[in-house]
Structure 1
């Protein structure tokens, strides 16, 4: 994506920073001070933060959250069953399998031209079927972190923030589509959490 398009979107959308980090810390009773982020966890990173830390197949389209510093200056990791709050009020519209668990897509009533804002939460446990189609207020729990089965990658939360064209049928949303569509613009989640 052209960086000028990204700058234009950030200047014109007037999206407020969410209380995601505060909500995350509060619902999980964490003595949270700040996120600890390795380079491979960041948006647009070309390298992995796990294993051999080698190159990724594609630039990272989100942010991976795993480590945090407590208010007592110790380092902790989130674990399976850590609760995940929704960033903005919105509706969970789809759940798909990913390589470490499940991915949830939340649609928000925030638009830029012909695109709608979505937040995407990866590597979580599959929620009960009744939550798909359900509206959530900001900060409400939508899932928990999954325990990666047969993986050397530790439990973590992947978050993507994206503008998705209304021309894309919601039932077609998948990681393959996210990685390859020119009708999806990813935004840096750090600007919003």
Structure 2
């Protein structure tokens, strides 16, 4: 089974063989995890809102050395889906992917979405585009007008089926009570009930 992050990491390795060869495991400094109250860079100021996901920035390599992610890392989607929003965030872009194969059956119907934040979309990526599992949709690029360290923000959420995609942004993820944010470090088998194979069966 495993966590959402473990699935994402496996996809990243497939797209980035050199990164896989040096990677051992992620590090989670204070402020990088789900619902963190403070930033993890600079003076670690209070966040405007609780952290909506996790920030993948630091890792331990095969020699036991602490490293940071580098520009050029390809970022893939973890499941088949459709690009429903490209949102300009405070560092770069955030890509919202809707995964119609995974629908929550308990309570109001909701569809699984993943969000890949602070990335540069691949050339030609467009809203409405269908993407296969493991397809690189973006790349990490340095933030020329910011001192924030390079990182990938990753969010997983249940979003109501009829929620307007054009309204998807970080503010609505934080404020809309119909949207259920999931801890990307938690076991994805704990996310709820589905109308299809649960996400941890993604290998099939």
TM-score higher than 0.5: yes
Name whichever of 151-160 and 87-96 sits farther off: 87-96
Q: Does the CA contact (< 8 Å) of 1:160 and 1:187 recur in 2? A: yes
| Whole-angstrom CA distance in 2 between matches of 1:32 and 1:189 | 19
Structure 1 partner of 2:55: 64
Aligned residues: CA RMSD: 2.0
1:181 matches 2:169: no
- The C-alpha deviation readout for 1:4-25, integer Å capped at 9, x for no partner, is xxxxxxxxxx997563212213
Structure 1 partner of 2:68: 77
Q: Does the CA contact (< 8 Å) of 2:118 and 2:152 recur in 1? A: yes
- The C-alpha deviation readout for 1:121-179, integer Å capped at 9, x for no partner, is 10001333444322222222110013213111011000000000123111221222112
- The C-alpha deviation readout for 1:39-75, integer Å capped at 9, x for no partner, is 2000011011001012111110100001111122112
Name whichever of 157-166 and 16-25 sits farther off: 16-25
Structure 1 partner of 2:9: 21
Structure 1 partner of 2:34: 43
Alignment partner of 1:128 out of 116, 123, 139: 123
What is the TM-score normalised by the length of structure 2? 0.81
What is the TM-score normalised by the length of structure 1? 0.86
